[in-house]
Amino acid sequence: MKPTGVLLRFSLGQLLAGRRLLIVPAVALPLVVVALFAAGADADPDTFTLDLFRQFVLPVMLPFVSLTFSTSALGTELRDGTVTNILLKPLPRPAILGAKYLAAVLATLLVLLPAVVAAHLIVAGGLGSTDLLVGMVLASTVGVLAYCALGMLLSLLMARAIVVGLAYALLWEGALVSVAPSASSFSIRGYTEGVLAAVLSGGGVDFTVRLGPVSASVLAAVVTLAALALAVLRLERMDIR
């Protein structure tokens, strides 16, 4: 196996071990419990699932899980001083960052997507709306890619990266965007909702968003790539001590 693949597997094992495993029940249980309650109630499955996804998964679970894993991927080793062992390996620093980033993305998706899919299946009593399921999975993936890139950058710039990241997600995306909708152009949550709305358009489950599918996709890609480029630049300028 190539060194980058070894680093990826090692990093993924690190992220999905120890106390961070507690994030699995913390994510799955609330969604499953709410889904079981909804399944026994007289509620439209698609509407309920969409509301649950938009009001709980997108604003809370998605940034929390993504930032937890992404700020830990390199941040833990920076705090412990063991990052030198990685930087001294015969690997380009962009490859190191890429392996850490991919590990954070995979860890987040492995924790988040099964819970989202399970909740959907429970509420729908089966497969339900495939458009809704595909839209939630795609929107979640776009959000994970962007939040993890942001988390990687923050972990290389400051000690309390997760606090700053969650403050952005809860205060900027939660409070400010609701007061000033134009700020959604600088909101990862706004990008995910734009992608979700694009998948659901014409499928019977519809909602209003400020960003169109093209704008949401382009802005999500720009933010993700810009954060990763800045993270690579920061990592390359770090001194080995």
pLDDT, tens digit, 9 for 90 and up, residues 51-79: 999 989 999 999 999 999 999 888 777 77
Tell me the CB-side half-sphere exposure of residue 98, using CA atoms within 13 A.
10
pLDDT of res. 202: 64
What pLDDT was estimated at residue 61?
Answer: 94
Q: What is the mean pLDDT of residues 166-170?
A: 89
3-state secondary structure of 117: helix
Closest by CA position to 130, among listed 63, 65, 69, 204 = 204
pLDDT of residue 44: 84
pLDDT at 1: 55
The yes-or-no verdict on residue 228 having pLDDT over 90 is: yes
Predicted confidence at residue 148, as pLDDT, reads 97
- pLDDT attached to residue 117: 94
Band the pLDDT of 26: cuts 50, 70, 90: confident
> Which pLDDT band, with edges at 50, 70 and 90, does 176 fall under?
low
Alpha carbon 231 to chain centroid distance? 17
Sign of CA dihedral 104, 189, 171, 235: positive
Predicted local distance difference test score (pLDDT) of residue 2: 78
The percentage of residues in the chain with a pLDDT greater than 90, rounded to a whole number, is: 40
pLDDT averaged over every residue in the chain: 86
Examine the pLDDT at 85 and tell me if it is beyond 80: no
Question: Which percentage of the chain shows pLDDT scores above 70?
Answer: 91
Interatomic CA distance for residues 187 and 36, integer angstroms = 31
Is 78 in contact with 156 (CB distance < 8 Å)? yes
For residue 180, name the pLDDT band (cuts at 50, 70, 90): low
pLDDT at residue 191 greater than cutoff 80: yes
Q: What's the pTM value of the predicted model, to 2 decimals?
A: 0.92
Which residues 6+ apart lie within 8 Å of 169 measured at CB?
59, 63, 64, 67, 147, 188, 189
Would you say residue 21 has pLDDT above 90? no
- Cα gap 8→98, rounded to integer Å: 9
| 155 Cβ contact list (under 8 Å, min separation 6) | 70, 71, 72, 73, 74, 75, 78, 161
Q: What is the phi/psi pair of residue 210, to 5°?
A: -80, -35
